[in-house]
Amino acid sequence: MTKSQLEKMMGIKRRAISNDEKMERRNDILDAAAELLAGDDYHDISIARIARKAGLAKGTIFLYFKTKEELFLQLQSREYKSWFEDVNKRLHTLARQKKECGTDDFVENIMAAISSHPLMTRLTPILHIILERNVDYKTALEFKRFLLTEIQATGRLIERCLPFPQKNDGARLLLHLQVLLIGLIQLSRPSPSVKQVIEKEEMEVFQLNFDEKLSEMLVLLINGIKTDNKK
Amino acid sequence: MTKSQLEKMMGIKRRAISNDEKMERRNDILDAAAELLAGDDYHDISIARIARKAGLAKGTIFLYFKTKEELFLQLQSREYKSWFEDVNKRLHTLARQKKECGTDDFVENIMAAISSHPLMTRLTPILHIILERNVDYKTALEFKRFLLTEIQATGRLIERCLPFPQKNDGARLLLHLQVLLIGLIQLSRPSPSVKQVIEKEEMEVFQLNFDEKLSEMLVLLINGIKTDNKK
Amino acid sequence: MTKSQLEKMMGIKRRAISNDEKMERRNDILDAAAELLAGDDYHDISIARIARKAGLAKGTIFLYFKTKEELFLQLQSREYKSWFEDVNKRLHTLARQKKECGTDDFVENIMAAISSHPLMTRLTPILHIILERNVDYKTALEFKRFLLTEIQATGRLIERCLPFPQKNDGARLLLHLQVLLIGLIQLSRPSPSVKQVIEKEEMEVFQLNFDEKLSEMLVLLINGIKTDNKK
Amino acid sequence: MTKSQLEKMMGIKRRAISNDEKMERRNDILDAAAELLAGDDYHDISIARIARKAGLAKGTIFLYFKTKEELFLQLQSREYKSWFEDVNKRLHTLARQKKECGTDDFVENIMAAISSHPLMTRLTPILHIILERNVDYKTALEFKRFLLTEIQATGRLIERCLPFPQKNDGARLLLHLQVLLIGLIQLSRPSPSVKQVIEKEEMEVFQLNFDEKLSEMLVLLINGIKTDNKK
DNA sequence: AATGAATGAGGATTCATTCAT
DNA sequence: TATGAATGAATCCTCATTCAT
């Protein structure tokens, strides 16, 4: 239960005057959306539900986010930020341990970071297809700039960790990771009726375990990049 | 222009009595949907438009497809069938030329098959997230069975062509391809506002060319699989 | 209570298949709107209320009228048609009685026609300012064409009745009438708070009786036109 | 640019303490509304825009005007005041020149006064239908009292100018003028789609030139009143 | 088999107004 | 007096789907 929900229950109602308070409220809204997203699909979450959960009026939501899509894009942004921090921390730790880390170590850590950010898994498959569609230039610019910075910073850390001889191979790997994420999440989260189908024995091929498959493909790609560059 | 469109124009109206006639009408509908999909996004195509284009009444569409999603799933199915045929033909040709084909040859042919099936590019990113969501068990079963057969058959052809020592590496590669397709199509088709953003110089990283990137990643994966297996 | 309301109550539900049935349903909807308009202002009447009163679903309304404004424009159109018929009948009667009718006779009949069409009084003041605003070219064209025909026909009848020497003075008078209607209806239907104010003795000037004032001004205009033309 | 806009730009912010300062601020707000009204329709002007243009906060507007409608009613009031002053000045001038002015002279001067008060043209058609609707008793009373005074004063001037034998014929003419204004402004400002329609040749009847038509009808009414009274 | 009339759930968004600060 | 954060009512219209004919 969030702070504002408690406040709501206790009949307290405060105005977010200072910038800090506003950021707090903004985060309350994102928290409410995140909670709902854990249980429901994007399409089943209305602004009304988010407002109710956040203890605010519907209109108030639109003071903080211009559109529903922008709201979820900002949620994605927040989640990305946390994920990149997590990854960076892990890469630093790895770097401290040995000069050059093994592919397996690296992949394992990436996987762990993903596992501790389940929201990413919910948002990534709709990021390009939905969220980025109803968002204005300014918001899109800000989002992409943020992503760019993170990708470059983390990319460099990766390059320090993995023996990628070419410049930008770190950022390149992160893009590849994004591709894999989008595709694999979709394939590994079948709809109920499809799920029932692929649970049949002969359909084993389609029973795709997200973690396993992502690890596998990541390893392949990393090895591929190494091989590729050694040519 | 389809047969039923012509009929419509000529004021002829026929009932599809025999099974052949029904399949023909079914295909007319899929043709209409395909034509519309070439120009518009899935969400901008209403059943009403499809019906109009096919020269039929709205209700008639639902005699052939239980839901809008099923309609497009069947379109995807038809497109897949054609694509697999294309790929198989190409792999046979490759196999006839040399005993073992090079990775580049293989990738080039896959890319060519994809290029000549633009509908796949439109449907694949929504397949799991939309189409498979509103479809009943029977339809899902049929679709997945069909896919299974194709994947296995083509998978075996791939194994004959590429030096994959392990069983099912062919099917495995096809699944990987699906993952790449979903992710890459989304990344390479930005919304207008995002497009404007990533056209800036510093955003070059996000300017992702679908063909290039798919080839690149496919090569990496294939090399990866080879390396992986040689262990 | 309309036919469809009765049907609704009796659990009967019929589809409007033939054109006649469709026109009937269309009229049912207009009837419902008319009934509501008798008691409430345009802005207080939602499509939902009209649908409820007509015993139909909200969506059904939009099968018959593209927008709320178009619906009320068509209601205005129907009311105009009836009004013009009424006026024409009266002018014919007048013409049969004497060769040339007096201004008073004429005005009296116009007033009577207006009195028996209270809906006109409700719709005319919002016709140009609201109804014609959210209506497409085709609808606007049809409406204006209809009006043109009526105005010309009735205009000619007026010219036969009143000693207007110049051509088109009949149609001219009808336009003047429209101007007076719009202005006078507004002035004679004050809002509650204004009403309270102008009921004070010294505010007598503002207590404007619609019928009296319209007659008065019409007479002035007719006399004016006569004088004007005799110059 | 108003004073408070300048202040805003210069980062100055002052409280309106004295009554004069308050009136000044009130006028700044009306100025802002007037500026916006020159370009946009009433419905497209939000309180937020007025506040922004006036360099004030939204809430501040409501310190000076209880409702949006009252704000525009007060604007109308201010505009009326200026218009009546203008008319009075003109009538005095006319009276000085000759003992009795001709109808044409009179009408010409009225028209000139209207032309130099374009805001009146924007506000008059919504005065009764919108502005007076959401205004309390006190405001309505004050507004009507003001109008009464002006109408009576100017009415008397008119009677001195035009040969109207009956008492109050001046005020009567002013009321008539109001009627004509409301009706004619609406008829002469068609919506875009209607405009397109009536630009067709056969629709000439509907192409109503405001100035011409108002002059014409005013002349008719004045002549009518003269004739009427001479009876 | 074909039609197309009828359904009705579904949902974001605006904006005048209030009121805590 | 001034602010601007918060409110929440208010509502049109779309469109997949059903079903009477």
- The predicted-structure confidence for B39-50, as pLDDT tens digits, reads as follows 998 998 999 999
Which residues of chain B are within 8 Å of residue A169 when distances are taken between CB atoms?
A: none
C194 min Cα distance to partner chain D (Å): 6
Q: Which residue has its C-alpha nearest to nucleotide F7's C1'? A: A57
Which residues of chain C are within 8 Å of residue D230 when distances are taken between CB atoms?
A: none
Instruction: Give per-residue burial for A77-93: e unless 16+ CB within 10 Å, then b.
Output: bbbbeebbebbbebbee
Q: Which whole number is the average pLDDT over C178-186?
A: 96
Predicted confidence (pLDDT) at residue C13 exceeds the cutoff of 60: no
Does residue B133 approach strand E to less than 7 Å at its CB? no
Does residue C131 approach strand F to less than 7 Å at its CB? no
Mean pLDDT, all residues of chain B: 89
Q: Which nucleotides of E are covered by protein (CB under 7 A)?
A: 1-21
DSSP helix/strand/coil, C220: helix
Give A57 CA → E14 C1' in Å. 14
Q: Which whole number is the average pLDDT over C69-93?
A: 95
- Can you say whether the dihedral through the CA atoms of D224, D227, D229, D231 is positive or negative? negative
Which of the four pLDDT bands, split at 50, 70 and 90, describes residue A226?
Answer: confident
Which residues of chain D from 115 to 174 reach within 8 Å of chain C, CB to CB?
A: 125-129, 132-133, 135-137, 139-141, 144, 147-148, 151-152, 168, 171
Q: Which of residues 181-220 of C touch strand F (CB under 7 A)?
A: none
pLDDT confidence of residue B96: 87
Predicted confidence (pLDDT) at residue C157 exceeds the cutoff of 70: yes
Q: Which whole number is the average pLDDT over B75-90?
A: 97
pLDDT confidence of residue C231: 43
Q: Quick check: C180 and D183 CB within 8 A?
A: yes
Which of the four pLDDT bands, split at 50, 70 and 90, describes residue D3?
Answer: low
Q: Which whole number is the average pLDDT over D43-52?
A: 93
- Can you say whether the dihedral through the CA atoms of A34, A36, A42, A46 is positive or negative? negative
Q: Which residue has its C-alpha nearest to nucleotide F3's C1'? A: D57
Does residue B67 approach strand F to less than 7 Å at its CB? yes
Q: Are A182 and A208 in contact (CB under 8 A)?
A: no
pLDDT confidence of residue D230: 46
Q: Testing the interface with B: which of A182, A200, A214 to mutate, by most B Cβ within 10 A?
A: A182
Lowest mean pLDDT among A198-202, A223-227, C203-207, D202-206: A223-227
- How much of chain C exceeds pLDDT 70, in percent? 91
Which of the four pLDDT bands, split at 50, 70 and 90, describes residue C230?
Answer: very low
Predicted confidence (pLDDT) at residue C82 exceeds the cutoff of 60: yes
Give A139 CA → E17 C1' in Å. 30
Give the tens place of pLDDT for each residue, D71-117.
Answer: 999 999 999 999 999 999 999 999 888 777 889 999 999 999 999 99
How many Å apart are CA A51 and CA A25, to the nearest integer? Answer: 12
Which of the four pLDDT bands, split at 50, 70 and 90, describes residue D18?
Answer: confident
Lowest mean pLDDT among B14-28, B84-98, D130-144: B14-28
Predicted confidence (pLDDT) at residue A152 exceeds the cutoff of 70: yes
Mean pLDDT, all residues of chain D: 89
Q: Which nucleotides of F are covered by protein (CB under 7 A)?
A: 1-21
How many Å apart are CA B174 and CA B212, to the nearest integer? Answer: 18
Does residue C18 approach strand F to less than 7 Å at its CB? no
How many Å apart are CA A173 and CA B216, to the nearest integer? Answer: 12
B138 min Cα distance to partner chain A (Å): 9
Give the tens place of pLDDT for each residue, B105-137.
Answer: 999 999 999 999 999 999 999 999 889 988 999
In C, minimum Cα distance to D181 occurs at C183
How big is chain C by its Cα radius of gyration, in Å? Answer: 20
- How much of chain A exceeds pLDDT 90, in percent? 65
Give the tens place of pLDDT for each residue, D152-175.
Answer: 999 999 998 888 878 889 999 999
DSSP string of A43-103, one letter each residue: GG--HHHHHHHHTS-HHHHHHH-SSHHHHHHHHHHHHHHHHHHHHHHHHHHHHHH-SS--H
pLDDT confidence of residue C8: 47
Contact partners for chain A, using 3 or more CB pairs closer than 8 A, are B
Facing A228 at nearest CB: one of B129, B180, B223: B223
pTM score of the predicted model: 0.89
Give C3 CA → F17 C1' in Å. 28
pLDDT confidence of residue A11: 45
Q: Testing the interface with B: which of A77, A217, A222, A228 to mutate, by most B Cβ within 10 A?
A: A217
Which of the four pLDDT bands, split at 50, 70 and 90, describes residue A189?
Answer: very high
Which of the four pLDDT bands, split at 50, 70 and 90, describes residue A180?
Answer: very high
Which residues of chain D are within 8 Å of residue C218 when distances are taken between CB atoms?
A: none
Give A28 CA → F8 C1' in Å. 20
Q: Which whole number is the average pLDDT over D111-128?
A: 95
Which of the four pLDDT bands, split at 50, 70 and 90, describes residue C35?
Answer: very high
How big is chain A by its Cα radius of gyration, in Å? Answer: 20
Predicted confidence (pLDDT) at residue A231 exceeds the cutoff of 50: no
Which of the four pLDDT bands, split at 50, 70 and 90, describes residue A7?
Answer: low
Facing B125 at nearest CB: one of A129, A137, A189: A129
Q: Residue D122 burial (CB < 10 Å; 0-12/13-18/19+)?
A: buried
Contact C186/D at CB under 8 A:
yes
Lowest mean pLDDT among B6-20, D127-141, D204-218: B6-20
Predicted confidence (pLDDT) at residue B20 exceeds the cutoff of 70: yes
Q: How many CB pairs under 8 A join A and B?
A: 158
- Listed in order, strand segments (DSSP E) in A62-114 are none
Predicted confidence (pLDDT) at residue A227 exceeds the cutoff of 80: no
pLDDT confidence of residue C107: 96
Q: Residue A192 burial (CB < 10 Å; 0-12/13-18/19+)?
A: exposed
Q: Which whole number is the average pLDDT over A25-49?
A: 91
How many Å apart are CA B214 and CA A166, to the nearest integer? Answer: 19
Give A135 CA → E12 C1' in Å. 14
Predicted confidence (pLDDT) at residue C211 exceeds the cutoff of 90: yes
Which of the four pLDDT bands, split at 50, 70 and 90, describes residue A4?
Answer: very low
Which of the four pLDDT bands, split at 50, 70 and 90, describes residue A147?
Answer: very high
